[in-house]
A and B are shown apart, each in its own frame.
Chain A
Amino acid sequence: MEWETVIGLEVHAQLATKSKIFSGAATAYGAEPNTQACAIDLALPGVLPVLNREVVIMAVKFGLSVGAEVAERSVFARKNYFYPDLPKGYQISQFELPIVKGGSLDILLEDGSIKRVGITRAHLEEDAGKSLHEDFNGMTGLDFNRAGTPLLEIVSEPDLRSAKEAVSYLKTLHTLVRYLEICDGNMQEGSFRCDANVSVRPKGQAALGTRAEIKNVNSFRFVEKAIEYEVQRQIALIERGEKVKQETRLYDSDKNETRPMRSKEEANDYRYFPDPDLLPLCVTSEWVEKIRQTMPELPTQKRVRFEHQYELSAYDASLLAGHKALADYFEAVLKLTPAPAKLVVNWVMGDLAAALNKVNLDISKSPLSPEKMAGLLNRIHDNTLSGKLAKEVFEVLWEGNADTDTIIKERGLEQMTDSSEIEKIIQQIIDKNPTQLAEYQAGKDRLFAFFVGQVMKESRGKANPEQVNALLKEKLKGEMNV
């Protein structure tokens, strides 16, 4: 039987605010335990939550970016469960009336086509603290620094049909939230986490199969592997005549398998009800319009603009547009040089990206400014530097403070374009290698490369290779006729 996979994703994006969603405690990552957990986060008696305005603005920005409806009125609810990392005994979340409803995200599939994935909703909620189960004399340690950190939970429709599509959706969403500057997207630090709802059904069947939820997978690669494993597990179960159980499963990346969470942890009746400590949140259409004015250009818009404005390939355009700082750098360089866009792309995504990668730096922290990069590209563009010499200059630029023109002057690196000078070298090489010349004349065409190599060597790489080719061909032909 042919099976179809159905996947819906829930992403928790940690909103990049300075303070918590309901308190004025800091949200910085990596602080000493409990130094950023105030009386409100710890749920001391008598405290009241007050909503952070920035959190609302960020949720609205997300809603606008996916063409969703921003609810004029949304309500915070209490989701009740007992666990020591949740001091109040409930998590403040949104349930029946979320702030963002509907919308969609276009993702790029492997075959180059675009698929529209529906977004069900996005709602605001607070994160819980962290339990440390190392042994503290038989007790559990609790760090509440993360408690009350704002989260936007983004729920997709069950529109995804393979693990690869799920990863593409996640990457697109990851790029989007960083563009909007509402989430730093750091998956290792847990700023962008994903739960996957996975089910299978016979191809052509309309009704959905029973789904399992895979919790908290923290890298794109693991999402793909976890879903692939889960799909195979479910198909095998059904083909053996057994049933898929609706349950929550954890992915174990060491063993590459999913396994059920203990039933105690998932026996949930959350008893949602509106939080009496918080009034309904009102977002007027005037406010939404004001926020709309501050929206940056979005990745898809940028990709399309790059393809048209700079005549970049879809591949180059989507790579650049996928990383805002990279796209900004590219455009900054392009403004400063007459070099063609393709040359700029090649250097920015080639040598520069490789050099940055080596020292693990983001392009936004590049030691090589767009001005310096443009200076180098100017000299490649006007043929002062050959590709090979340009790489040499790049190394020097990367190491220090000098600019391209100074480096060229100090090292005498200008490309030799004076044809009489190149001809002189060619003549010397021909005179020095009578044996090779004779063999070449006897029909050993392969020796042409030998002559090119010798000329380039003699010029210390400064001769323009195209010019050397043309002049040498002519010269050797002349020698034949002598």
Chain B
Amino acid sequence: MSSISNETVEKIARLSALAIAPEELSMYATQLSNILTLVEQMNTLDTTGIEPMAHPQATNQRLRNDCVTEPDERKELQSLSAFTEAGLYLVNQVIE
């Protein structure tokens, strides 16, 4: 049984730049642990000789023509971002 500790949740949250309240930590730890348990359960299945499936639908990718259809919506899109400057999205410094 895999289980994820509150400390691991805190670490993942920090790497993902997510703010998680201390009282929520145990809830996330349980939920994430459950996901891992499910995966472990699936891993016990014997898949020898079964061809991997790329997609559940037995059809092919549809294609679009090479046309520019997306207008410039920078203003609207950047209104979703906490920090912008000179047309750039700003994030925490990623190099030391």
Chain A interfacial positions (CB closer than 8 Å to B): 17-19, 23-26, 32-40, 42, 44, 50-56, 75-76, 82-84, 97, 131-133, 136, 138-144, 262, 274, 276, 278-282
Contacts and interface: CB of A to CB of B under 8 A. Distances in A.
B59 A132 contact: no
A123 to B, nearest CB: 15
Given A131-B94, A133-B95, A144-B89, A18 B68 contact: yes
Interface string B53-75: 01101011111111111101110
Given A75-B54, A280-B60, A282-B60, A136 B70 contact: no
A149 to B, nearest CB: 13
Contacts of B78: 34
B50 interface: no
B22 interface: no
A136 B95 CA distance: 13
Given A56-B63, A274-B55, A140 B90 contact: yes
B64 A52 contact: yes
Contacts of B70: 19, 23-26, 38-40
A82 B88 contact: no
B61 A279 contact: yes
18 contacts: A19-B66, A24-B68, A34-B74, A35-B87, A39-B73, A44-B80, A52-B63, A53-B63, A56-B63, A75-B54, A82-B15, A133-B93, A136-B85, A142-B88, A144-B89, A262-B96, A279-B57, A281-B61
Nearest to B69: A24
B1 interface: no
* Overall SS of chain B's interface: loop
Given A34-B89, A140-B91, 13 more contacts: A24-B69, A36-B72, A37-B77, A50-B62, A51-B64, A53-B64, A133-B93, A136-B86, A139-B93, A140-B92, A140-B95, A279-B55, A279-B57
Contact of B66 (A17, A132, A143): A17
Given A141-B90, A279-B57, A281-B60, A54 B66 contact: yes
A32 B87 CA distance: 7
A52 B66 contact: yes
A39 B70 CA distance: 9
A35 B86 CA distance: 12
A131 B88 CA distance: 9
A223 B71 CA distance: 38
A132 B62 CA distance: 35
Contacts of A141: 85-86, 88-90
Interface string B11-47: 0000100000000000000000000000000000000
A413 B72 CA distance: 59
Contacts of A40: 70
B72 A35 contact: yes
Contact of B93 (A54, A140, A280): A140
Contact of B88 (A34, A44, A54): A34
A354 B78 CA distance: 48
Given A83-B94, A279-B55, A53 B65 contact: yes
Contacts of A38: 70, 73, 77
A50 B68 CA distance: 13
A35 to B, nearest CB: 4
A25 B68 contact: yes
Nearest to B60: A282
Contact of A132 (B61, B80, B88, B96): B88
Contacts of B85: 136, 141
A143 B61 contact: no
A82 to B, nearest CB: 7
A39 B61 CA distance: 21
Contact of B87 (A18, A26, A33, A56): A33
Contact of B63 (A44, A51, A140, A144): A51
Contacts of B69: 19, 24
A44 to B, nearest CB: 8
